[in-house]
Structure 1
């Protein structure tokens, strides 16, 4: 009975911390509507709610923003034009090979990405990172579970705490960390965080707070109640990956992309 009470208390704490929706600015809406964005990326706005997500994180067009592990550049396509005139965007890729691929993607669209700087993160995997105390905001979309699972680490070791500490160092006092990731239910076995692509809210909060961050709230803008987080091939079973191929594809398409946490943390000023 005590365990159930504790679980309810933890769940209630997360719900109580949910922050009210933020209205995206005209400039942010314009960046999302930019015709230079790929059609395939636009099709995923219905699952990722970029304008609302960035508004919740409080990203301003004058900010110096670090986007961690940009992958194919889904958010980079939005952030680059939004920050181009008065701000600065730095994208941070893992390993030298990852950085090379990122630089090639940036160079392919100089009219869109011409002002974007590329570095490495985390530097424990090698390369040059972001200078300490220079970023107004650091954003990471669906990556914390990778650090927990040791992705790109030569020995597959969990380096999530080291990653959060490096993020803390690169931010200015008062700077913001925005985390969006696939949400694992709090009742699930912790071991699933290293193989399923999902991670618990409590784990992300613990790591961020151990690194020195203060929790500033959560949003349910990227929640998906249809996602049980229990699929044959983890989160990659769902779109856009469809790891099961054509098996039950219509079923997974109807579910949509994963249920996601959207968390905001702040580096204390004093």
Structure 2
């Protein structure tokens, strides 16, 4: 009972300790606010600019969510195709790796030329940032299905589609949720990067304008909100993962 309480409390205790040490270090070494503001100053900035922070946070959340959903749908579809076919797996994998190796920040100026500034480049950046991990994880989950298991199922009269639907896709769920928990944070990164370059709304734009006038507490307040949104989305998918793939996460959750 005590161990379980410590496990549940550990993240909150560590966060509190982190901000407490941060506050003490800034006070003891007299670090100026425009270099590294104290957590209490950042919190005061959150209350002072709560309207602007709420507006830009909602915009970033919207662009991230749209790009993320599109990446999940497209990634699952392509991942199933690639994972189901050895030929596609071998043929498309190098191209996917090459596409993912391109720095996403370098794509944003091209998107501006194509679609202009605003919401669309942020959505597309969130999409391309999230697409590759989903595709690869789904394809890997399907491609690693044991040939012996497939042979047994075919012997029992199962068709290739039935094997895919009843065995292959359920097998990929742990891979999928592992990617989703990482990808949702990457989607926020993609949106914010685009907003700093090609938008007049969103957290990225707010960070850019605040840093231009050396309002570092507001910059940190905006970064803090992005972190909170990322943690919240991660927790949602972790909860869904526990409910849908509990059989694959028993050891992680400490159950038998």
Instruction: Classify the TM-score, shorter chain.
Output: under 0.3
Larger fraction in helix: 2
Instruction: With the length of structure 2 as denominator, give the TM-score of the two structures.
Output: 0.28
Instruction: With the length of structure 1 as denominator, give the TM-score of the two structures.
Output: 0.27
Whose radius of gyration is greater, 1 or 2? 2
